[in-house]
């Protein structure tokens, strides 16, 4: 079974395979790891679809690390 963190990392890598994200740097800012703003929007759309959640625009600006995204998903699931 895949964890939420692994799922988020897989989504990011599917959107941009050159992104240097892995389980060891989930606190790093995604833009510093190779994502651009279009990739970021695509990642968040895919997360909405996969996890069945809605990410408000105001929140999306704060979701710039894997850790922040995972926490957001967890908060919505509970």
- List the catalytic residue out of 14, 22, 32, 36: 36
pLDDT at 77: 81
Residue 69, pLDDT score: 97
Say which CATH number the domain at 43 has.
Answer: 1.10.1200.10
How do residues 31-63 score in pLDDT, each as one tens digit? Answer: 999 999 999 999 999 999 999 999 999 999 999
Count of domains observed in the chain: 1
Q: Using alpha carbons only, what angle is made at residue 64 by residues 58 and 66, rounded to the nearest 5 degrees?
A: 125
* pLDDT digit string, tens, across residues 4-26: 999 999 999 999 999 999 999 99
Told to judge if 14 belongs to the known catalytic residues of this protein, a careful annotator would answer no
pLDDT at 7: 96
Contact yes or no for 70/26 (Cβ under 8 A): yes
Question: Residue 55: which domain range?
Answer: 4-77
């Amino acid at each position: 079974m895949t964890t939420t963190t692994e799922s988020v990392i897989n989504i990011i890598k599917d959107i941009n395979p050159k992104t240097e994200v892995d389980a060891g740097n989930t606190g790093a800012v995604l833009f510093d790891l190779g994502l651009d703003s279009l990739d970021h929007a695509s990642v968040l759309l895919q997360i909405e679809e996969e996890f069945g959640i809605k990410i408000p625009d105001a929140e999306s600006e704060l979701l710039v690390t894997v850790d922040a995204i995972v926490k957001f998903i967890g908060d919505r699931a509970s």
